[in-house]
Amino acid sequence: MIFDRHLPHRLRLGHRTPGRRSELRAGKVVVVAGFQGVDEDHNITTLGRGGSDTSGVALAAALKADSCEIYTDVDGVYTSDPRICPQAKKLERISYEEMLELASLGAKVLQIRSVEFAKRYGVPVHVRSSFTDTEGTWVVPTRTSLPQFLLRPTSANSTGEIFEPT
């Protein structure tokens, strides 16, 4: 993956290490730093906050994986911040577009660049907890089995009500 230092928000797949693919095919476990990339001059650089999400999705895209699993401290994507809004509901599925909107409004579940990468390369992303085996939330091209909730940002002083369309 190449990080363009002149346009830090623009990432693209590039610099590949062919030996790693053969190691994967041989059944070996390959460990990759989750927040690093290289610039045009092949200098190692960090990708900033959420860089591990972005690296994971980029690797899944480059390896043509069926999906990318992101393990985090939450067990999925919610309709609202469950620490603020006790009525928040965990979503089974959410579209790339909806996740991009939530990330742009401040949701910290997935870094916005990782969602952009997933959308561009068609990588389904499964957001799940590092601490439990429960099913998380799938970020996919279009949502298919999600109840029709109105997603809206919340703040610490909001009432946290969730509205369902009539």
Q: Give the total number of structural domains in the chain.
A: 1
108 part of a folded domain: yes
156 vs 22: which has the higher pLDDT:
22
pLDDT band at 5 (very low <50, low <70, confident <90, very high): low
Q: First and final CA of the chain: distance in angstroms?
A: 46
pLDDT band at 106 (very low <50, low <70, confident <90, very high): confident
> Is 55 a residue whose pLDDT tops 60?
yes
Q: Which domain holds residue 34?
A: 2-140
91 part of a folded domain: yes
153 part of a folded domain: no
155 part of a folded domain: no
Calpha distance 131→49 (Å, rounded): 21
75 vs 143: which has the higher pLDDT:
75
What DSSP letter does each residue of 64-111 carry, written as one string? T-S-EEEEESSSS-BSS-TTT-TT--B-SEEEHHHHHHHHHTT--SS-
Is 131 in contact with 73 (CB distance < 8 Å)? Answer: yes
123 vs 107: which has the higher pLDDT:
123
150 part of a folded domain: no
109 part of a folded domain: yes
pLDDT of residue 154: 47
Q: Is the pTM of this model over 0.75?
A: no
Dump pLDDT digits (tens) for 116-165.
989 999 999 999 999 999 999 999 998 654 455 555 554 444 554 444 44
152 part of a folded domain: no
125 part of a folded domain: yes
What CATH code is carried by the domain that includes residue 10?
A: 3.40.1160.10
